[in-house]
Amino acid sequence: MGSYVPNTDIDRQAMLAAIGAKSIEELYNVIPTDIKLDKDLNIPKGLSELEVRNKMARIGAKNLVFRSIFRGCGAYNHYIPSIVKHITSKEEFVTAYTPYQAEISQGVLQSIFEYQTLICELTGMDVSNASVYDGMTAAAEAVLMCIERKKKKVLISETVNPQTIETIKTYCMGIDCEIILIPSKDGKTDIEALEGLMDKEVSSVLIQQPNYYGQIEDCSKIGEIAKQHKGNYIISANPISLGILKTPREYGADIAVGEGQPLGLSLSFGGPYLGFMATTSKNVRKLPGRIVGETTDNKGNRAFVLTLQAREQHIRREKASSNICSNQALCAMTASVYLSAMGERGLSKVASLSMSKAHYLANRLCELDDFKLLYEGEFFNEFVTRSTGNVHKKLAALESHGILGGYPLNDRDIIWCATEMNSKEDIDELIHVLREVGE
């Protein structure tokens, strides 16, 4: 069936002869004998390509594939038009990196430039970088952008995704930076508590919109408070919600970040995903990673170049505010193709459907005797319910019917999510199963 290593024994002997060695053992004779492996590893015999495919298929068959998904919390089940994967699966696009000799890779550079342009249009910001690893990394990098010698306090709302908060704490662990959590009240950022925490040492205020509980924050008011104390304002946004909600720029944000997974990327067991970052012109030189720009060559033709990247990220790493010197090129291109295919009206439609389906789900759940909304504020496509019974039993019942229910916060509370993928029939079936289970 063929070998995974294309070199034959004759090829190997020819290569050894070319460097003056008679055998593989002689090639490695500089390695001390006492650290060489001198026993059989008992590795099973290699499999052919056909055998590997069959084995992987058997393993994959063990996975539980849900017919309906009502869980979000940072990763969302949206419809991906077929053109997205049709284009991005082309061999010439399958890369996650920008070459160091970037100017010879005009196609890759243009794809990044188009991505940056779309992210700026989506967030209302002036400039975007070429992307970072994921939304949590983007939030942490944004915090690092804002830290100054006399401004080393970071205020983060308790209503931000807990994984994002933990990532920021990890990033800030080795530097002299104080992380302070803004308390929540009724599922939203406590604005009075924020006012009490603000002082001249605060470098940035970070909130999530919509927040972890699905609630829509008063971003304008929070932004005003941050600006009054000359703190930077960071909004971590769900990109789909920007189809109907105000942009981070309209809320007065200095930096917009978020997880790009909803923009055409499959759930894929958690990755690879995409972190987007965009900011105003005044912060362009603080933006981590790289920025691709459009110019003309010496013949006047349109061309693309790496316009900006901090050399400290590559060389003087101990002096850098960020050590990110790569980007998620293929994931970024996927987001670009998705946004181009959907267009402004398509994105608005997805956002509207997600919101309306979530409200229908919430209303149906509240028809049940043992469910009620935990927070009464406005929400986008996620919300929290409180149950009188043990929620794990209810979620297990849903799973037995091929339905992935919401995310359990504890024994009584669940974060539910709906997108355009959840039909009225799917929601009604979920309610039917829960009604049968009872308390």
Instruction: Judge whether residue 61 has pLDDT over 50.
Output: yes
Bond into 99 cis (ω within 30): no
Tens of pLDDT, residue by residue over 220-232, are 999 999 999 999 9
Residue 337 has, within 13 A of its CA and on its CB side, a CA count of 21
Task: Tell me what percent of the residues of the chain surpass a pLDDT of 70.
Answer: 94
DSSP per-residue letters across 225-289: HHHHTT-EEEEEE-GGGGGTSPPTTTTT-SEEEEE-TTTT---GGG-S--EEEEE-GGGGGG--S
Which tokens sit at 162?
Answer: 């807990």
Report the CATH fold assignment for 68-78+348-437.
Aspartate Aminotransferase, domain 1 (3.90.1150)
437 — pLDDT class (breaks 50, 70, 90) = confident
Tens of pLDDT, residue by residue over 24-46, are 889 998 999 888 888 888 888 88
Instruction: Judge whether residue 95 has pLDDT over 70.
Output: no
The confidence score (pLDDT) of residue 49 equals 85
DSSP H or E segment with residue 342: helix 329-365
Bond into 248 cis (ω within 30): no
Residue 177 has, within 13 A of its CA and on its CB side, a CA count of 22
Instruction: Residue 163: count other Cβ atoms within 10 Å of its Cβ.
Output: 15
86 or 307, greater pLDDT: 86
The confidence score (pLDDT) of residue 40 equals 81
77 — pLDDT class (breaks 50, 70, 90) = very high
The confidence score (pLDDT) of residue 317 equals 62
State the Cα–Cα distance between residues 371 and 389, nearest whole angstrom.
9
State the Cα–Cα distance between residues 370 and 247, nearest whole angstrom.
37
Q: Write down the domain spans for the chain.
A: 9-60, 68-78+348-437, 82-339
> Is residue 215 exposed (0-12), middle (13-18) or buried (19+ Cβ within 10 Å)?
buried
The confidence score (pLDDT) of residue 36 equals 86
Closest CA to 239 of 338, 160, 169, 146: 338
Q: Would you say the C-alpha torsion 385, 388, 389, 394 has a positive or negative sign?
A: negative
Closest CA to 207 of 256, 247, 168, 157: 157
Distance of CA 6 to the CA centre of its chain: 37
Strand partners, 295: 303
The confidence score (pLDDT) of residue 92 equals 78
DSSP H or E segment with residue 37: none
The confidence score (pLDDT) of residue 217 equals 97
Instruction: Residue 323: count other Cβ atoms within 10 Å of its Cβ.
Output: 13
State the Cα–Cα distance between residues 287 and 322, nearest whole angstrom.
9
DSSP per-residue letters across 366-377: TTSTTEEES--S
Instruction: Judge whether residue 312 has pLDDT over 70.
Output: no
Q: What are phi and psi of 252, to 5 degrees?
A: 95, 15
Tens of pLDDT, residue by residue over 374-393, are 999 999 999 999 999 889 99
Mean predicted lDDT score pLDDT of the chain: 91
- Tell me, what amino acid is at 76? Y
Do 68-78+348-437 and 82-339 share a fold? no
The confidence score (pLDDT) of residue 412 equals 95
The confidence score (pLDDT) of residue 1 equals 39
Tens of pLDDT, residue by residue over 4-14, are 677 888 999 99
Please name the CATH architecture into which domain 82-339 falls.
Answer: 3-Layer(aba) Sandwich (3.40)
- Return all residues near 75 (Cβ < 8 A) that are at least 6 apart: 259, 261, 267, 270, 273
The confidence score (pLDDT) of residue 98 equals 56
Instruction: Judge whether residue 282 has pLDDT over 50.
Output: yes
State the Cα–Cα distance between residues 398 and 392, nearest whole angstrom.
10
What pTM was computed for the model? 0.88
The answer to whether 264 and 118 have CB atoms below 8 angstroms apart is no
The DSSP code for 35 is G
Residue 126 has, within 13 A of its CA and on its CB side, a CA count of 11
The answer to whether 174 and 229 have CB atoms below 8 angstroms apart is no
Instruction: Judge whether residue 165 has pLDDT over 90.
Output: yes
State the Cα–Cα distance between residues 391 and 387, nearest whole angstrom.
7
- Tell me, what amino acid is at 254? D
Whole-number CA gyration radius for the chain: 26
Strand partners, 403: 68
State the Cα–Cα distance between residues 255 and 174, nearest whole angstrom.
23
The confidence score (pLDDT) of residue 197 equals 95
* For range 111-119, the mean pLDDT: 95
The confidence score (pLDDT) of residue 232 equals 95
Closest CA to 309 of 288, 294, 283: 288
